[in-house]
Amino acid sequence: MTRLHIAIAAALVSCLIAAPFARAAGEMGEAQHKDEGVRFFGFVKDASGKPIIEAKVSAEIKGGIRYVTHTAKNGMYSFGGFNKSVKPEDVTISCSKEKFQQTKVVRKTPAGKTVKSVETECRMQPG
Look at residues 117, 99, 98 and name the one whose alpha carbon lies nearest to residue 107.
Answer: 117
Q: Looking at this protein, which amino acid is placed at residue 8?
A: I
* DSSP code, position 83: B
Query: Chain centroid to CA 111: how far?
Result: 22
The string of pLDDT tens digits covering residues 6-24 is 444 444 434 333 334 433 4
| Overall pTM > 0.85 | no
pLDDT digits (tens, 9 = 90+) for 39-91: 999 999 999 999 999 999 999 999 888 999 999 999 999 998 888 888 889 99
Residue 81: closest CA among 121, 118, 123:
118
The one-letter amino acid at 113: K
Question: In the CATH scheme, what is the code of domain 24-126?
Answer: 2.60.40.1120
